[in-house]
Amino acid sequence: MVIDMTDRARLHQILQYCRPHGSTGVSDLVRDVFAGYDYEIFSSPSGEPLALVIEVDPHLTSTLFSSHLDTVHAKAGYQQVLWDEDLALFYKDDEYGCLGADDGAGVWLMLNMIDAGVPGHYFFHYGEERGGVGSVGMSSYHSRYLSQFQRAIAFDRRGTGDVITHQAVGRCCSDEFAVALSSALNKFDRMGYKPCSGGIFTDTANYTHDIGECTNLSCGYQDEHSANEALDFEHLSAMRLACINMNWEDLPSVRAPGEDDPDAMGWGSRFGLSVKHGKKYAPIPWEDEYVAPDMEDLRSMTYVGLHQWVQDNLHDPDTLTDVLWAALS
């Protein structure tokens, strides 16, 4: 595959911003990268920004595309991002922070789709890494606007082949939808997508009561939230080609908004949490030898404290921390 150097330069620019939620890193990215785009920022009643939205031929589409502007960096600033010509990888060569391809890759991909004129409603969310602050607010304060959509597709998943059917809240899209989307993507070079029920959390999880078909697609990064994070730009470039040329409106709509899956339990359920439409319910019973944690104690913890609690108690701290943080925030 021939790499477009101009587009690579824009992605390199995006990855250089360290963008913790609420920081100047996010506002600097919006100022510099979104200059020249016609966008609207949806806010909460108190004025907190929730999502930067760009519409392309909105009357021709019922599709919402999703990515997020923030990263898990500890502080705002700029970082050195390296490029491996042989492997077509973006990476960092230090022990601090992360690359930020989660979700700089999704931001870059959606901007390319906008530039190509792909009809859609493009949501660049604020605060996904803080439990989906932006999408929770959108569902709470702008649900009527969300109700027009048949599908919500996020570009915020590690790896190169997942079409997510379940997130922390349980089922988020129908199997029929996931199979059709996988098939549509796989018509293009290097694509090997298939349905996957092992999702964790992204903003579309907060829309499952507003929109029937909600999913998350792998977009080429690995080892997110760590100094080892890397991004497969060759895969992301192939994905761009597929996303620009496929017809998103042809995808089936089978799942109804708010429809639960009685035969499957999502990640949140497997870890003893029941989460529905931004509300916390009582923990689901664990096996007899496990004593469910005090939820109020967990809610009072910082992210660092919660991570330590997970390390002390369970075998998979990174994954479970993400799930608990999304559920309890």
pLDDT (average), residues 266-279: 39
Is the pLDDT score of 121 beyond 50? yes
121: phi then psi, degrees, rounded to nearest 5 = -110, 110
Q: Are strands 63-68 and 120-125 parallel, antiparallel or unpaired?
A: parallel
Q: Are 219 and 239 in contact (CB under 8 A)?
A: yes
**Which position has the higher pLDDT, 31 or 293?**
31
Is the pLDDT score of 286 beyond 80? no
Domains of the chain by residue range: 5-250
How does DSSP classify residue 286?
-
Please write the tens of the pLDDT for every residue from 54-81: 999 999 999 999 999 999 999 999 999 9
**Which position has the higher pLDDT, 287 or 135?**
135
Q: Are 121 and 149 in contact (CB under 8 A)?
A: yes
Mean pLDDT for all residues in the chain: 85
Is the pLDDT score of 192 beyond 50? yes
d(Cα 299, Cα 195) in Å, to the nearest integer? Answer: 33
Q: Are 45 and 68 in contact (CB under 8 A)?
A: no
Q: What is the pLDDT of residue 94?
A: 87
**Which position has the higher pLDDT, 200 or 315?**
200
* CATH architecture, domain 5-250: 3-Layer(aba) Sandwich (3.40)
State percent of the chain over pLDDT 70. Answer: 77
Q: What is the pLDDT of residue 265?
A: 45
pLDDT band per the 50, 70, 90 thresholds, residue 290: very low
